[in-house]
Copies of this chain bind each other. A is one copy, B any other.
Amino acid sequence: MTQTKAEAIRELVIANRILSEEKILFEAFGHISMRNPENPNEFLLSRSLAASQVEEADIYTYDMDANCLTPTKKRSFAERVIYSSIYKQRPDVMAICHNHAQELIPFTVVDVPFRPVSHYGAPFYKGVPVYDNYDVSDGMLIKNEFEGERVARALGDKTALFLRGHGVIVVGESLRKCVMNSVFMKIDAQNQHNSLVLGTPKYLSYEEGKTCDERTWNGALSQERAWNYWTSKVVK
């Protein structure tokens, strides 16, 4: 689907609202960006603002060095180098969400791998590495280009990268898939937690995860139904 930049901005506002409603972008922190569909060397991201409050006028355009191209005196997010670094290294990625969903934190600080136990976890069948190489002087945020590059390398070809004691970066081949991945990661993290507390779970096999992600979650049936549902909850 070819999309104009204006359409993309409208969709990105909805994505912000959905991820706030889902308590993934919660308490004013975390954000989601997408590549400019009219120029793959730019990306769209709201200014420094809680996701629940984002309107179209708050979406700014950034270049691949994370410079803000939109004339403004308002502040940008400190961690926007996450996005420029990953968009440069992953041409297949069209959208990226950085969030601190509480369900995920244990998997970033405890020696327990994140492996899907339910079909909601299928998008993460390749595994989720943990980044733990901070510039401490940046207050545990990813704020400079060198750390941005380290993070992009640690992500590699995966769908998500944990940041130790901080949160996660989730990518998608479209904005809608990135939203779906972010929601599903939270659901399966809860499922994994609840299962691990009771015993040793049988995880999805690599093949099960891959097939489920490609055929079920990437299918038009699932994508449309989910996006329509999420939109119905935030657009009245």
Contact = CB atoms under 8 A, between A and B. Distances in A.
Interface residues of A, number: 74
Given A118-B105, A216-B139, A28 B196 contact: no
A102 B27 contact: no
Q: How many copies does the complex hold?
A: 4
Interface string A187-214: 1001101111111111111011001111
A221 B205 CA distance: 43
A138 interface: yes
Contacts of A225: 28-29, 48-50
B226 A28 contact: yes
Interface stretch (A5-13, A36-44, A86-94, A228-236): A228-236
Nearest to A208: B136
Contact of A165 (B117, B132, B165, B229): B117
A53 interface: yes
Given A102-B190, A225-B49, A216 B140 contact: yes
Interface of A: 27-29, 48-50, 52-53, 75, 78, 100, 102-103, 105-106, 108-112, 116-120, 122, 132, 134, 136-141, 164-167, 183, 187, 190-191, 193-205, 207-208, 211-217, 219, 221-222, 225-226, 228-230, 232-233
